[in-house]
Amino acid sequence: MDSQKIVIAFPFTGGELGGSHISAAGLICGLDRDKFRPIIILHKNGLILEEYLKKLGLPFTLAPNVSILSADSELGFAASVANGVRLVRTTAKLVPFLRRHRVDIVHTNDGRMHATWALAARMSGAKLLWHHRGDPMARGVNIMAPLLANHIVTVSHFVRPAKPIVPVTHKITVLHSPFDHPSDLPDRDACRRKFVEELGLRPDTRFVGYVGGLIERKRPVKFVEAVHAFLQHHPDFPLAGLLFGTNAANGPDLDGAVKSRAKELGISDRIHLMGFRTPIAPCMGALDALLVTAVNEPFGRTLIEAMLLKTPVVATNHGGNPEAIDDGQTGYLVKPECPEAFVGPLERLLFDGRQWETISSTALENARARYGNKAHVEGISRLYETLVPRQSPAMHGQLVSRH
C-alpha cells in the first residue's frame, strides 16, 4: 500500500553536481520502492543536476520560490536580522509544501539545504535527517543540527560535529559514502594515449592528476607545486599534471591561480586544466597516480573512485583521508601543505612497476571489500525505518478492521 511507504524528500539547489549529489542519487536509486517513496526537489531547474538526474531516470519536482539560506555565514547584526526574516518567509512556504506531499522525512545533504529546510521539516511534522559531509567546526552541524535534526549522519569520523551545542552522541551515525563498483577496469594505455593525443604531448608522457572542484580546501595550487617539486628532482622525466574540475559557483578564481602558479614555477607546459569530465573512469585510467592535496577533506569520493579503478593514491595525512588509506599498503599518506612530501611516493610509483602493481591491486581489493552502494543503502534505510516506524501491511489491515 502506497500509504504505508515512508516518503523522503531530498532537496537540492540544482545548480551544482558534486560528490554529495552523486552519493544521494546512488542512495535514491537503491531504495526499496516497496518501502520508500523518494521525492527529489530542485530549487532551480534546467541546470547541471537536472541533466544528471535525467540520465539516471530520476524524476523531480520544483521547490516553491523561496530564498536559499546559508548555515555558516558570518553575519553582522543587520544582515542577521534580514536572514532571520528570510528564514521565516521561507519556512512559511516550505511547511505547507511538505505537508501537501505528505513527507515523513526530509533528508538534507549540504549546508544550504540544511539551513533552508531544517526548521520547515520540523514544523511540518516531518523528521529531519542531516547528512553532514563538511567541516566538523561548521556552525550548522554544531548549532542547528544538535537542536533540530532527529538524526545526524556523517561520512567519516573526522567530520563528526566538534563542538555541538548540546550532546549528539545518541543520534549520530558514521556511514561512508556509497560507491558503484565498475564492472570492468579501463584500458590504461588507451586512456593515456587519448590524453597524449588531445594535448599534443610526447608519446611517453606520464600523468598524475587532481580530480575535484577547484576550491580552496582541496588546494589545487598545492597540486601544481607538488608536480613542480617532483620535476625539480627529475627535470627530464616526461611528467604532466592534469586537473579535472572547475571553479565553484561564486567561488574564487582558482583556475586562474593554478595557471598563474604554474607560470611562476616555469611549468606551464606541464600543467593542463581539463575542465569537468564525465565519466571519470577514462580520466582516472590515464593517471599513474591521483594526488590528493586537500586539507579538511571530509571523505573524498575521488580517492575511493581511484582505488576502485586501480589508480594509486597519494594523499595528505589530514581530514578523512587516513580513514581510507593504510599508508604504504593501499596508498600513501604525506604531510599536508608540503608539496615536497609527494616526491618520494611518486618516485616509488613511477620508477618501480612492481610497487605500483602492489599498491594499486591491494587498494582495489580493499575498496571493493569496504565500499559499496548496498551497505550504504541498507544503513540509511534502517535509519529511515527507525525514525518513522511503520506497521506491517497485515497489522495495518487488522487495525483498520477494528474501527
Lowest mean pLDDT among 14-28, 135-149, 229-243, 275-289: 14-28
Q: Determine contact, residues 298/133, Cβ cutoff 8 Å.
A: yes
pLDDT tens-digit series, residues 158-207: 999 999 999 999 999 999 887 888 989 999 999 999 999 999 999 999 99
The pLDDT score that the predictor gives to residue 398 is 42
Backbone angles phi, psi at 274, to 5 degrees: -100, -10
Label residue 394 by pLDDT band (50, 70, 90): very low
The pLDDT score that the predictor gives to residue 395 is 40
pLDDT tens-digit series, residues 312-358: 999 999 999 999 999 999 999 999 999 999 999 999 999 999 999 99
Cis peptide before 164 (omega within 30 of 0): no
Mean pLDDT of the chain: 92
Label residue 79 by pLDDT band (50, 70, 90): low
Question: Whose grid coordinates read 523518494?
Answer: 38
Cell numbers that stand for 245 in this block: 574540475
Segments making up each domain of the chain, as ranges:
2-178+372-402, 188-370
Helix (H), strand (E), coil (C) string for 36-105: EEEEEEECCCCCHHHHHHHHHCCCCEECCCCCCCCCCCCCCHHHHHHHHHHHHHHHHHHHHHHHHCCCCE
Q: What is the mean pLDDT of residues 142-150?
A: 96
Q: Is the pLDDT of residue 375 over 90?
A: no
Q: Is the pLDDT of residue 77 over 80?
A: no
Give the number of other CB atoms < 10 A from CB of residue 188: 18
Give the architecture-level CATH label for domain 188-370.
3-Layer(aba) Sandwich (3.40)
**Interatomic CA distance for residues 128 and 156, integer angstroms:** 20
The pLDDT score that the predictor gives to residue 76 is 53
The pLDDT score that the predictor gives to residue 177 is 83
Backbone angles phi, psi at 243, to 5 degrees: -110, 115
Q: ∠134-140-141 over CA atoms, to 5°?
A: 60
Number of H helices, E strands in the chain: 16, 13
- Between 342 and 402, the more confident residue is 342
| 142 DSSP 8-state letter | I
Cell numbers that stand for 308 in this block: 576502485
Backbone angles phi, psi at 116, to 5 degrees: -80, -35
Q: Determine contact, residues 40/60, Cβ cutoff 8 Å.
A: yes
**How is domain 2-178+372-402 classified at the CATH fold level?**
Rossmann fold (3.40.50)
Q: Is 153 exposed, middle or buried (0-12, 13-18, 19+ CB in 10 A)?
A: buried
Q: Whole-model pTM?
A: 0.79
Q: What's the half-sphere exposure (Cβ side, CA atoms, 13 Å) at 71?
A: 26
The pLDDT score that the predictor gives to residue 90 is 97
Q: Is the pLDDT of residue 235 over 60?
A: yes
Q: What is the mean pLDDT of residues 73-98?
A: 80
Indicate if 188-370 has the same CATH topology as 2-178+372-402: yes
Single-letter amino acid, residue 353: G
Beta bridge partners of 12: 42
Q: Would you say the C-alpha torsion 161, 140, 324, 178 has a positive or negative sign?
A: positive
pLDDT tens-digit series, residues 21-45: 989 999 999 999 999 999 999 999 9
The pLDDT score that the predictor gives to residue 3 is 72
Q: What is the mean pLDDT of residues 252-270?
A: 97
Label residue 396 by pLDDT band (50, 70, 90): very low
Cis peptide before 279 (omega within 30 of 0): yes
The pLDDT score that the predictor gives to residue 403 is 36
β 271-273/239-244 pair status: parallel
The pLDDT score that the predictor gives to residue 399 is 36
Cell numbers that stand for 330 in this block: 593501499
Q: What is the mean pLDDT of residues 87-109?
A: 97
Q: Is the pLDDT of residue 122 over 50?
A: yes
Beta bridge partners of 208: 241, 289
The pLDDT score that the predictor gives to residue 19 is 81
| 276 DSSP 8-state letter | -
Tell me which residue of 171, 145, 131 sits closest to 27, measured CA to CA. Answer: 131
Tell me, rounded to whole angstroms, the distance of Cα 64 from its chain centroid.
26
The pLDDT score that the predictor gives to residue 393 is 46
- Between 16 and 121, the more confident residue is 121
Name, in order, each residue with C-beta under 8 angstroms of 302's C-beta and a sequence gap of 6 or more: 19, 211, 212, 280, 290, 292
**Interatomic CA distance for residues 16 and 24, integer angstroms:** 13
Q: Is the pLDDT of residue 82 over 80?
A: no
**Interatomic CA distance for residues 319 and 325, integer angstroms:** 12
